Amino acid sequence: MAYSSSSSSSCSVCLAFFFFFALLLHGSRAQLSSTFYASSCSNVSAVVRNVVQQAQSSDVRIVASLLRLHFHDCFVNGCDGSILLDNSDSIQSEKDALPNKNSVRGFDVVDDIKTAVENVCPGVVSCADILALAAEASVDLAGGPTWDVLLGRRDGTTANPTAANNMPSPFDDLDTLKQKFSDVGLDDTDLVALSGAHTFGRAQCRFFSSRLYNYSGTGSPDPSLDSTYLATLQQNCPEGGDGTTLNNLDLTTPDTFDNKYFTNLQSNEGLLQSDQELFSTSGASTISIVNSFAGDESTFFQSFASSMINMGNIDPLTGSNGEIRSDCKKVN
């Protein structure tokens, strides 16, 4: 069939619109790049790492806390720095959501990083990218893997406390966890690898005490808990006691990023229900992944780095979308 000049022109217009919308759908990921700040703020990674290292010298927990901030940011509205916003006339903060309130921490260190970065490259680096860089530096400083952080995110101007209340939870069963990860484009390997972040850091008694005394309304402890470990946790978290008491997520090497989290799961010594579910759920696809990571730390490290990049690609704002906040706690 021969095309007239007008139909050819119409076809060209259609193709132009097709590619425009394709760019809208896929452009944000394509625009993220490990060299995004190569000319505008070439030493940003070193600046971030220096502040994180200083904070770690006086607070060994901070590296796990900063990694958690990036996770809690990306799972709500994508990686847009929304977790950092305080309450205001126009913002209902995610900090008050149940998974975050009196739990998520490290905001002061993020502010310190932002100040240090602004002193070198004013108005250039987003708070969302600062979270991504701080997460990578934290893992490295705790003995874990490094990776090329993809950058170019911009900061959101809204928060979503409703979505923050529906994040992956320490009380979730495996099917629920898998669905929540799938909803943001992450698979079972991402789920197990990113759960491996619990190889360092702490958790409050209130996030797992139901396993110790009245699991799923049975009036008995969670049968998947090792009995010796159960006794230790019951001593740390007595029934009716202080729900904010801190416990090591990894009882073996609590401040080191390694693969001991997975060997703990094999010994029924996962602290959170959402941890042990990965290994103790009969027939689960995640069991073989846990075994693989427990048997080879380098395999875990490679998968973790890859999964962090995948998580960092959840719905970033790029181009002219969003903004570069001058203060991470509030919109400009």
- Average pLDDT estimate for 53-63: 98
- Average pLDDT estimate for 176-204: 98
State yes or no: 78 annotated in a binding site: yes
- Average pLDDT estimate for 281-292: 97
Question: Which pLDDT belongs to residue 250?
Answer: 98
Percent of the chain with pLDDT over 90: 91
Residue 27 has pLDDT above 70, yes or no: no
Phi, psi of 330 (to 5 degrees): -150, 155
Residue 136 has pLDDT above 90, yes or no: yes
Quickly state the pLDDT bin for 46 (edges 50, 70, 90): very high
Q: How far apart are CA 291 and CA 231, in angstroms?
A: 26
Question: Which pLDDT belongs to residue 5?
Answer: 39
Question: Which pLDDT belongs to residue 108?
Answer: 98
Q: Exactly one of 72, 95, 154, 202 is catalytic; which is it?
A: 72
Residue 6 has pLDDT above 50, yes or no: no
Residue 14 has pLDDT above 90, yes or no: no
Quickly state the pLDDT bin for 21 (edges 50, 70, 90): very low
State yes or no: 94 annotated in a binding site: yes
State yes or no: 108 annotated in a binding site: no
Residue 26 has pLDDT above 50, yes or no: no
State yes or no: 198 annotated in a binding site: yes
Alpha-carbon separation of residue 286 from 21, 117, 266 (angstroms): 36, 40, 12
State yes or no: 296 annotated in a binding site: no
State yes or no: 258 annotated in a binding site: yes
State yes or no: 327 annotated in a binding site: no
Residue 268 has pLDDT above 80, yes or no: yes
Quickly state the pLDDT bin for 31 (edges 50, 70, 90): confident
72 catalytic per annotation: yes
- Average pLDDT estimate for 273-283: 96
Residue 203 has pLDDT above 60, yes or no: yes
Mean pLDDT of the chain, nearest integer: 92
pTM of the model: 0.90
State yes or no: 254 annotated in a binding site: no
